[in-house]
Amino acid sequence: MNYRHANDYNFGSGKGTGWGKPTLVVFAVVGLYLWGSALFVDLFSFVTYPFLRLTGAVSESFGDALKNKKLLLVENKRLQADNDRLRVVAEQIGELKTENEQLRGIRQDSLALKNPVYSKVLVKPDHLPYDEIIIDIGSAADPLLKVGQLVFADPGVVLGQIESVSSHFAKVKLYSEGGVSLPVNVGIEAVPSVALGLGGGNFSLTLPRGVVIKNGDSVKTSIIGDFVLGYVARIDKNPNDPFQKIQFRSPYNIFTLQRVFVSHD
């Protein structure tokens, strides 16, 4: 009988030394051992630490950027709110300053009129159908108050006249009401004309084309006294028209009037 020697067995695939498969098994066992060992953990940490540190830094930077953006938005809203409040305060201060100057002027010039009665404007023209205002004085506070008395913005500027009186209020009809006509004198030469109310504190009048008038010239009342009604704002001339059309307006904005006074002259 013929027996094969032990070294005749081939553990390979038919070529090579025959140690391929056993070697792979050994490395696999060693790898599994290292996988659970501290050496593998240290090695893995050493390899991945720079990457983890970089991603952590990026994440932290991104988070900080979002946080800073939110803080900037909050701060911007706060500054905008502060700005709005300051603007309101500035407007209120401006209104008080204007009112104070008007009242100071009235006090300084009050000798031009006899016994002026100061009054607060309760209802302005933008709440009424025509150029009218309601003031907070009536017959109960001033028994001498009567229809037809002149109403002024200051001692030199007339606005209109009392139209009706109740016990606690009075209605003032402004001369700028549409359709109202009033004799006036225009410019330095006091050229006579008739002013027509256009509404909103605006007036118009006509003059011969040869009369020299310029923007800013005063228009004053005549038969009720020498008071400023307004100032020339626009001049329209047509070569084919023998008259020039003048538009003028009150120096006071009737929609923002706070106080007026009534003359007992």
pLDDT in tens, 229-261: 999 999 999 988 999 999 999 999 999 999 998
Q: Identify the pLDDT of residue 134.
A: 95
What is the C-alpha to C-alpha distance for residues 192 and 160, in angstroms, rounded to an integer? 19
Q: Which of 225, 27, 255, 261 is nearest to 126 (CA)?
A: 255
Residue 114 in tokens: 């006899």
CA distance 180 to 176: 7
Residue 200 sits at the vertex; the CA angle it makes with 194 and 206, to the nearest 5 degrees, is: 25
Label residue 31 by pLDDT band (50, 70, 90).
Answer: low
pLDDT in tens, 149-192: 999 998 889 999 999 999 999 999 999 999 899 999 999 999 99
First to last CA, the chain: 160
Residues 61 and 176 in one domain: no
Same domain? 179 vs 238: yes
The Cα–Cα gap between 108 and 241 comes to 45
Phi then psi for residue 168, to 5 deg, are -125, -5
Q: Which residues contact 265 (CB under 8 A, 6 or more apart)?
A: 113, 114, 150, 225
Residue 32 lies in domain: 16-112
Strands (E), 136-177: 150-154, 157-165, 170-174
257 and 157 in a common domain? yes
- Where does the pLDDT of residue 128 fall: very low under 50, low under 70, confident under 90, or very high at 90 and above? confident
Say whether both 244 and 127 belong to one domain: yes
Question: Do residues 84 and 146 share a domain?
Answer: no
For 9-35, what is the mean pLDDT?
A: 50
Check pLDDT > 80 for residue 96: no
Mean of pLDDT values over 32-47: 52
Number of domains in the chain: 2
Cβ within 8 Å of residue 126, ≥6 positions away: 255
* Cα distance between residue 133 and residue 172, in whole Å: 5
Looking at the domain assignment, is residue 219 inside a domain? yes
pLDDT of the residue at 236: 94
Q: Which of 138, 136, 248 is nearest to 184 (CA)?
A: 248
Domain co-membership, 43 together with 144: no
